[in-house]
Structure 1
Amino acid sequence: MTSSRSEPTGLRERKKAKTRAAIQRHALRLFREQGYGATTVDQIAAAAEISPSTFFRYFPTKEATVLYDAFDPVLVAATLAQPAELTPLAALRATVDVIREQVSGQDWEDERQRQMLVFREPELRSAIMDRFADGIELLAGMTAQRTGRAADDFEVRNWAGAVVGVIMAAFLGAAADPEADTLAVLDRAVAHLEAGLPL
């Protein structure tokens, strides 16, 4: 949850989303096989069968291929579709179940590998920390829609910041364990927050 994006709707937008996903998939495979630092944009472009100039139309940097989070639109749509009587935290927990149902096993494994790479590579971990501010904006906006309050309301933003902090801690913990079920860790983290973070 690092930035706000809308679901592609037209044919052109869907084709662009498909190309972007293919570039990211090839990039992540190369990063796993030969290391992030050793992989070049030219290699990613060749693997995706595009030119380097086409690569840069989709991603401004190599780093951006890892930081791009294709799950944001799924998360936003699933959260906003939860019943109005659910609290914002309960809606988030229900969203985790929706993601489990809607995302294929391979797609989720690719996403888990992306998250592990982000939190293990110092250069990427530093960059993703900057993007968590975008996550707070995204979550505050969704929560404002669900609660009828303003996105810049102090309590809404404070709540969004707490949730993003818990999510960040969950991802860091899951990245340290190659066998971790990231969605289960995330659900446990949100449940802990819902319980008031007891120690």
Structure 2
Amino acid sequence: MSEPVPSQSLRERKKVHTRLAIRREAFRLFEKHGYSNTTIEQIAHAADVSPRTFYRYFGVKEALLLSDDQISPIVEAFVAAPSEMTIVEAYAFAVGKVFGGLTLEQREDAIAGQRMLYDTPEACGMLYTAYVRMIDLITEALTERTDAPAEEAERRVIASAIVGVLIGASHNTPLPEAALQSALKILGRRLS
């Protein structure tokens, strides 16, 4: 979850707080009644928003479990990583920077959402979609690196390998920082 920062407008800070409130109430209701037995209307009511507001923030109930609040910052940190790093080192650097910068509240929220995601069969399709999106984003981000291949197909293979490592390290393990860093080191050694 993004923490509101002083430079954000009141409107942006309100959006961050509303999104977090909706997720918190949803998680509370999922724990109490189960994912399948909790309706969007119940979540909206508990978060003191309308169902329409819920849909504006999340679109579908499954999206509550799949927080992509770390995806864009990781890709941005990957692009901004020092150029002397290899591609895999740059990705590991980005993951470390973003995960390391999470507040306790953000970390707890991400872990709760990911735990429920792994335990909710209805959400598996969204997880697959998120991984494919991550491959697309890394493939595109590689165009910013001078050491990346010029051919899109080659960049996509590298991106897919990185996301494959992410899938392997993440399965049933929310925020797998140490396991992911270790797995990325192995991938980096094998690609060199």
| Normalised-by-shorter TM-score class | 0.7 to 0.9
Matched, 1:189 2:183: yes
Q: Which residue does the alignment assign to 1:56?
A: 55
Runs of 5+ consecutive residues of structure 1 not aligned to the other structure? 1-7, 176-180
Please tell me whether residue 122 in structure 1 is matched to residue 121 in structure 2: yes
Partner AA of 2:54 in structure 1 = F
Displacement of 1:137 = 0.4
Q: Report the identity percentage.
A: 36
Aligned CA RMSD, in angstroms, stands at 2.5
CA contact (8 A) 1:23 1:55 kept: yes
Structure 2 residues not aligned, in runs of 5+: none
Displacement after TM superposition at 1:13 (Å): 4.0
The structure-2 alpha-carbon separation of the partners of 1:54 and 1:151, relative to structure 1 and needing over 3 Å to count, comes to: farther
Residue 97 (structure 1) aligned with residue 96 (structure 2): yes
CA contact (8 A) 2:71 2:134 kept: no
Residue by residue over 1:21-68, the C-alpha shift from the partner in whole angstroms, topping out at 9 and shown as x without a partner, is 322232223223332111111111112111112212222211122223
Counterpart check, 1:169 vs 2:168: yes
**DSSP 3-state at the match of 1:147:** coil
Over 3 Å counting, the alpha-carbon distance change for 1:107 and 1:125 in structure 2 is same
SS of aligned partner of 1:83: coil
Supply the AA of the counterpart residue of 1:188: S
Distance in 2 of aligned mates of 1:25 and 1:66? 11
Question: Which residue number in structure 2 is paired with residue 35 of structure 1?
Answer: 34
The residue that corresponds to 1:178 in the other structure is none
Secondary structure of 2:179's counterpart equals helix
Give CA deviations for 1:77-134 in whole Å, capped at 9, x if unaligned.
3222211111111011112321243111231122122112212211112331133211
Distance 1:116 1:152 in 2: 37
| Contact 1:112 1:182 (8 Å CA) reproduced | no
Q: 1:112–1:151: structure 2 CA closer, same or farther, 3 Å change rule?
A: farther
Q: How far apart are the structure 2 equivalents of 1:150 and 1:22?
A: 43
Normalising by structure 1, we get a TM-score of 0.81
Q: Contact 2:74/2:98 (CA < 8 Å) preserved in 1?
A: yes
Aligned to 2:24: 25
Structure 1: how far apart are the matches of 2:59 and 2:171? 26
Could you tell me which amino acid in structure 2 is paired with residue 121 of structure 1? T
